[in-house]
Amino acid sequence: MSSVRRERRFKFRGDVPCLDFVNTLAWRLTDRPVEYLLSYEDLLAWGRQASLLTLDEKEVLSRCAAMDPEEARGTLSRAFALREAVHRVLSAAIAGEPQDEDALAALNHELSGALSRLRVAPVAGDTYVWAWERGGEDDGGPLLERPLWPVVRSAAELLTSPKLGRVKVCSGEGCGWMFLDESRNGSRKWCDSRDCGNRERVRKHLALKRASDS
């Protein structure tokens, strides 16, 4: 029997990387939240599926993690801390509450490190793009924190964008997933109308039926 673990498949309903990252913890508004990032390999799988890592980067980072499992575990802990910092900052913004200074400080700490790795890189012709530093053997190899850089950059861009006012929390009972509502009239209520939307419609239908039966 093969011992190779099947790669976890993620759902992307947030519409921007930082919200999809927040959503790697599901059902956070219940007493039994579901964690999707159970290992550093899950973090890499998420980054690849979110198009934040190339396949080559994912494979290189996977090999590096295998050689330094302690560092990989530490990076996963940083991922959790970043995820919760982003969630707390955005939750305060959505609710119109005073900002969580500790969460904002944690986000800015990760942002400082991430932006120091951002580079301008040439592409075909005379054009340039933003790119992330790729470590090599001469400078210690790629850093295991690489999947976090585009996440924290995405969070900073969203927080400083007019689109911040369009960040919502799914109306599905207990869901807690966040998404960017870019519908024309700002009426989106669900992370996915086919999932939480249908579940909520069924719940209301059953509630009405019970009420009528009684």
pLDDT at 138: 45
pLDDT at 139: 55
Q: State the alpha helices, DSSP H only, in the chain.
A: 17-22, 40-49, 55-67, 69-95, 101-115, 149-159, 198-213
* pLDDT tens-place string over residues 149-167: 999 999 999 999 999 999 9
Inside any domain, residue 168: yes
Neighbours of 171 (CB within 10 A): 13
* pLDDT tens-place string over residues 167-177: 999 999 899 99
Query: What pLDDT tens digit does each residue of the chain (214 aa) get?
Result: 445 678 999 999 999 999 999 999 999 999 999 999 999 999 999 999 999 999 999 999 999 999 999 999 999 999 999 999 999 999 999 999 999 999 999 999 999 999 999 999 998 878 999 999 876 544 555 799 999 999 999 999 999 999 999 999 999 989 999 999 999 899 899 998 887 877 776 666 555 656 666 6
pLDDT at 65: 96
Q: Which residues contact 104 (CB under 8 A, 6 or more apart)?
A: 85, 89
**Residue 177 near residue 198 (C-beta atoms within 8 A):** no
pLDDT at 194: 84
Strand partners, 168: 179
Please give the angle made by the CA atoms of 108, 53 and 180, to the nearest 5 degrees: 60
β pairing state of 128-132 and 118-122: antiparallel
Neighbours of 148 (CB within 10 A): 23
How far apart (Å, rounded) are the C-alpha atoms in residues 55 and 166? 32
Neighbours of 13 (CB within 10 A): 18
Q: What CATH number corresponds to the domain at position 61?
A: 1.10.3300.10
Inside any domain, residue 209: yes
pLDDT at 137: 44
Inside any domain, residue 138: no
pLDDT at 198: 77
Inside any domain, residue 180: yes
pLDDT at 134: 79
How far apart (Å, rounded) are the C-alpha atoms in residues 151 and 121? 20
Six-digit token pair at 141?
A: 């190899």
Inside any domain, residue 91: yes
- Residue 170 sits in which domain range? 17-115+143-213
Q: Which residues contact 174 (CB under 8 A, 6 or more apart)?
A: 27, 29, 30
Q: Is 35 helix (H, G, I), strand (E, B) or coil?
A: strand
Question: Total domain count for the chain?
Answer: 1
Inside any domain, residue 32: yes
pLDDT at 202: 65
Strand partners, 128: 122
Return the HEC string of 39-61. CHHHHHHHHHHCCCCCHHHHHHH
Strand partners, 178: 169
Inside any domain, residue 131: no
